[in-house]
Structure 1
Amino acid sequence: MATNTFSQNTTPAEDEATVKVTVTSIDGKPRKNDEITFISSKSGKTFKIVTDALGKSIILLKKADKYDVYYNNLNEKEKVQQFEIPQSEGKYTLNLTLKYDPPRTITLKNVFFDTGKASLRPESFAALNDLYDALKMKATMIVEIAGHTDNVGNKTANQLLSEQRAMSVKNYLTKKGIDAKRIIAKGYGDTEAFADNDSNEGKQQNRRTEVRIISE
């Protein structure tokens, strides 16, 4: 059970604790509309909340359990903390403060294109749907979709391919409802190599699509 503000009344069961969550940046600014996930060590169950405009939320969790805490950074979950709720009688309230600054650039995992083309393969849709959900929740966020290639082949062709692939990702998101003004599609060809192009592994790492947060 979760809610987005501290003010709403919640009544925990005997085996539940009230966890009041405050989420801020490292310098103390509230992080609004952040999705926080709690995973129980005992049951493996997942519980989610979304912070309000003050970076706050509240959740009821079982006592006598440990929880791993993650924040959702666009389509990637990042572990931020682990905490334990002891077994206790009567009411138990825990104040949990989470501080983090998410990376501003995220490489999209499981986003694939047909070889030498800009058409998205169907196995990419799950990751892009997660990205859509995150952008929908972060309604004011502006991002850049950055396409990259390795150094194999014609440099001009690689530049064009990277631009077209970035645009394919943008088009997928806008067709689902994200405002096109919030997404900048840009290709970089092979000019921003992440790894050494001398190995197949390095080339694979360089063929990537990134999301860069411009503003929140």
Structure 2
Amino acid sequence: MRNFLKAFLVFLCWAALALFLYNPNENYDSLETKVNAIENKQSSLSNKKTDTTKKEILKKAEITKAILKKQVKMNANTFPLVFNDKFITNSAHTRVLLPKKFYYFKDSIFNFLNSNNGKEIVINAVYKVNEILTDKTNFGIARANNLKNKLVKYGINSNRITSKATVKEYKYDKEGYYADGVTILVKNISESKRVLIEKEISHKTLYISFRKSSLEPTKALLTYTFEIKNYLKKHLSKKITIIGHTDNQGNTETNQLIGLERANLVAEYFTKNGIDKNRISVQSKGETSPITNNKTLKARKKNRRIEVIIN
């Protein structure tokens, strides 16, 4: 009976310590608090007369602490974005279904990334081992890309979204739906990706709709504005040149004025959204620097652009 009680006591103590283990929704600080709590418990036990049972508890506490420390390190760099609703997948296709109320997820990610310049998201979608497409890819990567395309269309920089697929055994419900098929993780942007993003920020072509004396702001333009602000904070000596381009319809002098007017509207937008106007200059090249011929409407639309150069 004594041995049974000892064993039961060890079990209870170990179960209590197990409650300290990593919860995927916890933040970095709370995990560190757990590590400290375990260390304090170890210290209080060590200061008392130690019998075999306490030695076992201390040993298991040390293992738990080591696991938690590893998770603290991981959680500082990678953690899930938690939503009130879930992404739904279906056994019949590769689309990701969203309840109407869940469309807020796009705005949530948009705001998060614009407020956390050094982060990117990873869309991880699961698939069953037999869910293979004719091109030999799988349902998981197709689902992840389906969500990515929604976010890019919404205005998020595609370089800050990674698609990932994980094979997993799970069951669809009787209608063929599964509500835990997609997870969105946040992680630090790698150095190679940071270099790519900064290169694109420093020389970008924008296609913006203009109506009379105003431009039509988009989420993509706002994203780029946030990126410029963060870029300029890092590169204090650099300045922005905004160049307006047009097609060849109308006379050259008028096109020059139109290009300048549009460049000024973009400069005004940047300034209203927090970019120092003293670091912005504008110019127009009108119709003089086409990137393609002006023979078709599609070609002319390509030539009606704003060029942003930061150097």
Say which one has the larger Rg: 2
Cα contact 2:120–2:189 (8 A) shared by 1: no
Structure 1 residue runs without a partner (length 5+) = 22-39, 88-94
Distance 2:280 2:26 in 1: 31
Could you tell me how far 1:192 is from its partner in structure 2? 1.5
Give the AA of the match of 2:214: L
Q: Match of 1:190?
A: 287
Match runs of 1:91-130 below 5 Å: 98=190, 99-100=192-193, 101-102=196-197, 103=200, 104-109=202-207, 111-114=208-211, 117=212, 119-121=213-215, 123-124=216-217, 126-130=219-223
Deviations 1:5-57 (A, max 9, x none): xxx54649xxxx84836xxxxxxxxxxxxxxxxxx8966756555355xxxx6
Q: TM-score, normalised by structure 1?
A: 0.57
User: What is the root-mean-square deviation of aligned Cα atoms in Å?
Assistant: 4.5
Deviations 1:88-146 (A, max 9, x none): xxxxxxx987323133432224x2223xx5x124x335554333333333343533222
Distance 2:26 2:287 in 1: 45
Q: Match of 1:20?
A: 77
Distance 1:63 1:10 in 2: 28
Distance 1:113 1:173 in 2: 15
Give the AA of the match of 1:190: E
| Larger relative contact order (CA 8 Å, sep ≥ 6) | 1
Give the AA of the match of 2:279: R
Cα contact 2:242–2:308 (8 A) shared by 1: yes
Cα contact 1:19–1:96 (8 A) shared by 2: no
Q: Match of 1:33?
A: none
After superposition, the Cα gap between the structure-2 partners of 1:86 and 1:59, relative to the gap in structure 1 and judged at 3 Å, is farther
Q: Match of 1:158?
A: 255
Give the AA of the match of 1:147: G
Query: What secondary structure sits across from 1:138 in the alignment?
Result: helix
After superposition, the Cα gap between the structure-2 partners of 1:78 and 1:125, relative to the gap in structure 1 and judged at 3 Å, is closer
Instruction: Pick the aligned partner of 2:164 from 83, 87, 92.
Output: 83
Q: Which has the higher strand share?
A: 1
Q: Match of 2:243?
A: 146
Q: Match of 1:210?
A: 307
Query: What secondary structure sits across from 1:188 in the alignment?
Result: strand
Query: What secondary structure sits across from 1:162 in the alignment?
Result: helix
Structure 2 residue runs without a partner (length 5+) = 1-24, 32-67, 69-73, 79-86, 90-95, 99-104, 128-139, 169-186
Could you tell me how far 1:81 is from its partner in structure 2? 4.0
